[in-house]
Amino acid sequence: MKIIVCVKRVLDPQVKARVKADGSGVDLANAKMTMNPFDENALEEALRLREAGTAEEIVVVSIGAGKTEETLRHGLAMGADRAINVVTEEALEPLAIAKVLKSIVEQEAPGLVLAGKQAIDDDSNQTAQMLSALLGWSQSTFISELKIDGDTATTTREVDAGLETITVKMPAVISVDLRLNEPRYVKLPDVMKAKRKPMDKIELDSLGLDTANRMTTLQVEEPEGRAAGVIVESVSELVEKLRNEAKVI
């Protein structure tokens, strides 16, 4: 079985995001970037499935230009067999990304598509679900456990009410949560090997897809700073402040 893993290049979660002076978006100039953490868990699970003999080939796919190749090389260093970079300077919305991924999936014919449940930059949590709908494949989201047996996949999902176990038919699109596994550490020899692994580049325009944005960003602002805390002398004073100042009771 071939597995496609969808990955995205995002701002490192340890870096404080800065808003551009004109308020048009987040300033990524000279910022430290990394692979989306949820996508790392998806790739780690694909690698474990290959080690268990369930999968034979792992392909990492990303959409972007410039240093997107670095993110894909990181995926190759983790253990993926090859990479596909759909090249574009545009910032695509989830539906457009799902359309691009659908085109790649149809070309590659995998048995499973794995992705992080969301990207930490926009937190949209939409791409995997849209890709499943466009392909007409089964889906399972927010998973923390995965077992594949023949043409079915049994997943444990993290939902508001707790944990839910469902079985879906393959092929399927599955999005993963952080508690699924612990991604492996990439060693220097693996980084060197990754430079020799194949990476295909596909121009977005060559796919002939409608990837126009449907949403317009009016303004991006930083959240207001938190006010200093107040020490109260008694429970009654706390209740009074919660009722009259915070207005939460």
The HSE-up count of residue 123 (CA atoms within 13 Å, CB side) is 1
CA dihedral defined by 164, 167, 172, 176, rounded to 10 degrees?
Answer: 30
**Six token digits for residue 131:** 């890709």
| Total Cβ atoms within 10 A of residue 49 | 20
Q: Does the N-terminal peptide bond of residue 171 adopt cis geometry, omega within 30 degrees of 0?
A: yes
Q: What is the CA radius of gyration of the chain?
A: 21
In the chain the domains, ranked by start, together with CATH numbers, are: 2-244 (3.40.50.620)
pLDDT of residue 216: 84
Q: Which residue has the tokens 């938190």?
A: 226
Q: Which residue has the tokens 């692979």?
A: 35
pLDDT of residue 29: 79
In this structure, are residues 141 and 32 in contact, taking their beta carbons and an 8 Å threshold?
no
Task: Please name which of 223, 218, 215 lies closest in space to residue 17, comparing C-alpha atoms.
Answer: 223
pLDDT of residue 219: 85
Say how far residue 29 (Cα) sits from the centre of its chain.
21
How far are the Cα atoms of 89, 130, 132 from residue 148, in angstroms, in the given order?
37, 22, 18
pLDDT in tens, 131-161: 999 999 999 999 999 999 989 999 999 888 8
pLDDT of residue 126: 93
* Residue partners of 137: CB distance under 8 A and separation at least 6: 113, 171, 172, 173
pLDDT of residue 37: 94
**Six token digits for residue 226:** 């938190």
pLDDT of residue 230: 83
pLDDT of residue 103: 96
pLDDT of residue 62: 96
Which residue numbers in the chain have pLDDT < 50?
Answer: none
